Amino acid sequence: MKSVFAPHLNKPVKLGRLPRKPGLKRLHLSDFIQHAAMPPIPDSADFSPKGGAAISDVMLNDELGCCVVSAGYHLEAVATGNATGTPFHATQGQIVRDYSAIGGYQPGHPETDNGCNEETAFAYWRTHGFANGTKLLGAVSISAASAKDVRAACFLFENVFFGVGLPDSWIDPFPSGNGFVWDQTGGSDPNNGHAFLGVGYGSSGVKIDTWGLLGTITYGAIAAYAGPSGGGELYALLTPDMLAKGQAKAPNGIAWNDLIQAFDSFGGDVPVPAPAPVPVGPSLAQMKAWAGAGLSAHFRAGMSLKQAEAAANAGLAVNWPY
């Protein structure tokens, strides 16, 4: 498992993303962007500020080749932070648990620290959920060649998930702090397999969170290294943690049902929640019968209109179903 020295941590960090398995169909957002329920895609967006301290947490990717798992929990921090204001920050024990389940790592046995791939992680999180109990709803592959598609995916789903063989020049020299830029330079190196999360975008590229640092990967670099020709992968993930409890819209303002339908329109398979049933009120005959029962129970000779209304209302109140 390859390590590289990280100046901002003053110690090495690890790589650990394994190549994708063949067979996954790559889908495009071009038609999806025109979805009638979707708002215009803004020129820039940044979902990272509400990710809290979890954004700058390496999440054990200095000690283990768990970059795929670490990126997944950066996603959970961003999703929960933007929806509720309280980001979920995974513990080291939770990172190890998932890395063990996904990549076969056994604590105390460094020979089992062999990394993992995105598709295996996504399948695990869909079945077993993240450590906060949330189950991933789905992941779809995005065209790295289209900056328009990448921006749309990042805005609509508040993330893009990268798997890249990093060019050597990106990690030698290693980024010394926030604000670094990864641009197209040379070829990708499969021995430098790394996963990281896109948390926003602007005119020059996608804002990324990796090894606890925030930087930018340019659209040219995304096209060169995050697509099939460069041996890379690029996904958008859908998680219900994008919603605060009891709300119907994600922080980007999109209705949840619309977001799911759009997600499914370019390859997802998430069931659209059925609308809540509209209560069916009692029939006129039932209301008359209830009012009549109230009058019979409280009838007395010489009742005033107001007293009769009170008696009828008493009968309705006893039987009213809501």
Lowest average pLDDT, out of 144-148, 177-181, 207-211, 301-305, goes to: 301-305
- Evaluate if residue 25 carries a pLDDT over 60: no
For the domain 3-265, what is the CATH superfamily, name and number? Cysteine proteinases (3.90.70.10)
**Phi first, then psi: what are they for 31, rounded to 5°?**
-75, -35
The three-state (H, E, C) secondary structure of 198-237, written as one string: EEEECCCEEEEEECCEEEEEEHHHHHHHCCHHHCCEEEEE
Q: Is the pTM of this model over 0.85?
A: no
- Evaluate if residue 247 carries a pLDDT over 80: no
d(CA 13, CA 238): 28
pLDDT score for 27: 46
**Phi first, then psi: what are they for 56, rounded to 5°?**
-95, 10
Q: How many CA atoms lie within 13 A of 62 on its CB side?
A: 16
pLDDT score for 18: 82
So where are the chain's domains?
3-265, 284-319
Q: How many CA atoms lie within 13 A of 18 on its CB side?
A: 18
